Structure 1
């Protein structure tokens, strides 16, 4: 009996430590469906999304430069000695060894790397939509295409966002114009950023409000890699979508209504089929809505076992009778 108790305590301790352990610094997923999921990020974590059809910006295969790891090849090396002879070293065995880095959170080691997507032709523009929850008033939200022609969106002044592009250009986008007053409020803050390359126009949307359309002082042409970097953000994010063209108002409404008025899916990055890599303190779990549905399902099963399900049906029947009686009066 004592042995059984000891094994149970050991198992519970191991499970508790596993749940609260720091994540593996290079774990992630490739081509996964994250519908109904959310990430919780801290200032000590970093999350990078990229297309399943592209190389990972964290660990790229040769001949492209790798990030964070040094790969050895099976090709033997030759050394010239003092005696004039040439000695051949034994070939390596494709062992991957960690290489320590001392980068700051805002630098991008892959900025000098030429990935296949870095030479992609320019598009009509770019649109980024996502949902987030945070209590911060000044954090960065995301950086799109961090190594070439990047766009960085930050929470600026109250009720405003700051967009940085081309390295030093910045535009503030206060969201104060009411566009759709009939959208149902949600626990999530839903935002969409649209950039039109041809017109050099940018606009910001948040829930049922929007900013005015602003002309950029310097034209921005998005043709960078399909990579989104979430650093220095503390809170939850979900439903990340990216298009390679500026969304129309109707399409933004589809997203803000969570599909209530029409279907939406990013043409570059889609939450239902996406790859990601996470480092530091990050957590992937079921979204709030999915957690509540599971809780309600368990509660309904518990009430059914206790006989509460039948009482609920009687209560609904009485409510219908009372409403019918009011209409007749």
Structure 2
């Protein structure tokens, strides 16, 4: 398990984007849900990403969970052997979406008008492997920024958590 604290926030957060890269055993080998990533703020879990056989589950506090199968090809993966994952959620619309290695899911509605406050802490756990390049933004990023991140190009500067500026523990 690896926990990564971000920058303390003095304002309410009404959306977020979480992106990271990992190398792990094949997630489809598990016949039960495996938590990959959890994000907390003010000591409360606000976001969880779990792997299930051939799909992912995103859970936002207060909004339940949705299953995603990122299958719509948008561009060619360029980060081999790393798996790139991103998830977004917007409080105003309640929409959430997921991207995996250049494939996006359909958007799905979740809880609206939710807000969060505090220091984001991202914890990677539940899989055997490595995680890197973790970033968290305080809004649902537009497609162009997500595409740049997933292709390993320049992308929007993060404001809640930046892999370049963190200290972490294992």
* TM-score bucket (shorter structure): 0.7 to 0.9
In structure 1, distance between residues paired with 2:155 and 2:105? 24
Match of 1:272, SS state, is helix
- Please report the RMSD computed on the Cα atoms of aligned residues, expressed in angstroms: 2.0
The residue aligned with 1:230 is 124
Task: Give the structure 2 partner of residue 36 of structure 1.
Answer: none
Q: Which residue of the other structure, out of 100, 113, 130, is the alignment partner of 1:206?
A: 100
Residue in 1 that maps onto 2:65: 170
Judging changes above 3 Å, is the alpha-carbon distance between structure 1 residues 276 and 209 closer, same or farther for their aligned structure 2 residues? same
Bigger share in strand:
2
1:185-200 to 2 correspondence within 5 Å?
A: 186-200=80-94
**Larger gyration radius, structure 1 or structure 2:** 1
2:20 pairs with 1:130: yes
Deviation sequence 1:80-128 (CA, Å, 0-9, x none): xxxxxxxxxxxxxxxxxxxxxxxxxxxxxxxxxxxxx5xx432241000
TM-score (norm 1): 0.46
Distance (whole Å) between structure 1 residues aligned to residue 115 and residue 62 of structure 2? 13
Pick from 140, 154, 168 the counterpart of residue 246 of structure 1.
140
- CA distance in 2: counterparts of 1:154 and 1:245, whole angstroms: 21
Residue in structure 1 matched with residue 44 of structure 2 by the alignment:
148
CA separation of 1:149 and 1:205: change in aligned 2, threshold 3 A: same
TM-score where L is the length of structure 2 = 0.85
Report which of the two has the higher share of helix.
1
Is the 1:149–1:224 contact (alpha carbons within 8 Å) kept by the matching residues of 2?
no
Cα deviation per residue 1:136-185 (whole Å; 9 max; x = unaligned)?
Answer: 33421111016225111111230x210122267111111111112x4436
Judged with a 3 Å threshold, the aligned counterparts in structure 2 of structure 1 residues 243 and 148 are, in CA distance, closer, same or farther, namely: same
Greater RCO structure (CA 8 Å; 6+ sep) = 2
- Alignment deviations for residues 261-319 of structure 1 (CA, whole Å, 9 cap, x no partner): x34432111111112122xxxxxxxxxxxxxxxxxxxxxxxxxxxxxxxxxxxxxxxxx
- State the secondary structure of the residue aligned to 1:253: helix
Alignment correspondent of 1:91: none
1:81-100 superposed matches below 5 A:
none
Q: How many residues align?
A: 163
* Alpha-carbon distance change, 270 to 153 in structure 1, aligned in 2, over 3 angstroms: same
Q: Which residue number corresponds to residue 288 of structure 1?
A: none
Q: Distance in 2 between matches of 1:154 and 1:275?
A: 24
Question: Could you tell me whether the CA contact under 8 Å between 1:126 and 1:222 is conserved in 2?
Answer: no
